[in-house]
Amino acid sequence: MSQTPPPASLGFLYPGHAAEDDYPLMGGMIDPPARVTLIHTSFVEDAHTVEALSEMGSVERLCSGAKSLVGSDIESVMWTSTSASFVLGLDGISEQIETLEKILGVPASTTAMAFARAVKTINAKKVAIAATYPEDVASRFRQFLSHFGIEVVHLSGQGIVTAAEVGTLKKEDVIELALANNRDDADALLIPDTALHSAAWLTDLEQTIGKPVLTANQVSFWEALRLCGKLTPQRGLGHLFEA
């Protein structure tokens, strides 16, 4: 008779305050519930610009946040900013991951990497992207995904400058964003901002557009479970968790 594995203990480094409540919410939505430890990291400027995001995702910022997790019982750790990882390119992401693993001694990843793995997991060849960022930042996400052979058939940037503003968007706003950027030739829709709430609406989003939807907080949580070997099929968190 198989035994239920013990609950996962997951660490998240989250820049500022916007949609961080998605993480404990998802922790309670899975079976068995996960223990979520979330640390807010600091930054100079809340802005979706390449310069501000590069500073936000710097090794110095991550080191400072990671030190708050030293001695905790976490089994994996995530840097939960999509844009403050992909703007640094693959080398910058590798440095982020190596830094976290060295400090904390557990597997680490970033939201950008989680997107690449999640797209492959659901076997999506072509994707549409509904980004909240300005176009120049959003285009760097397309460039990042191209390294993994993922074809972007549609990309839109909403031009929202701050994460704080993104965090105020409601369910109807997010569903409208998804509908406006869905494309028939896309196998999945990606919504890549951890400042955007989505965890409670994943089923509604997928039912509305009729295909898998991958959101930043969803894939970050999925990646954290995958890293510590406690990813199991779950309901209510989208096709990714059922795959």
User: In angstroms, what CA-CA distances link 70 with 63, 101, 106?
Assistant: 11, 11, 10
Q: Residues 141, 131: contact at Cβ < 8 Å? A: yes
Assigned token pair, 242: 């059922």
**157 sits in which H/E element:** strand 151-157
Tell me the pLDDT tens digit for each residue of 148-198.
999 999 998 887 766 677 878 899 999 999 999 999 999 999 999 999 999
> pLDDT > 70: what percent of the chain?
97
**Span 189-210, average pLDDT:** 96
CA distances to 56, 74, 113, 126, 222 from 106, in Å = 22, 8, 16, 32, 16
- Residue 76's pLDDT is 98
Q: Residue 27 is which amino acid?
A: G
C-alpha 129/C-alpha 153 separation (Å) is 8
- Output the DSSP codes for 37-106: EEEEEP-S----SHHHHHHHT-HHHHHHHHHTTTTS--SEEEE--SHHHHTTHHHHHHHHHHHHHHHH-S
Query: How do the domains of the chain map onto residue ranges?
Result: 9-242
pLDDT at 116: 98
* d(C-alpha 234, C-alpha 152), whole Å: 28
With respect to CATH, is domain 9-242 assigned 1.10.3720.10? no
The 213-215 sheet, strands edge to edge: 151-157, 126-131, 188-191, 213-215
CA 85 to chain centre: 10
78-103 pLDDT per residue, tens: 999 999 999 999 999 999 999 999 99
CA pair distance 215, 217, nearest whole angstrom = 6
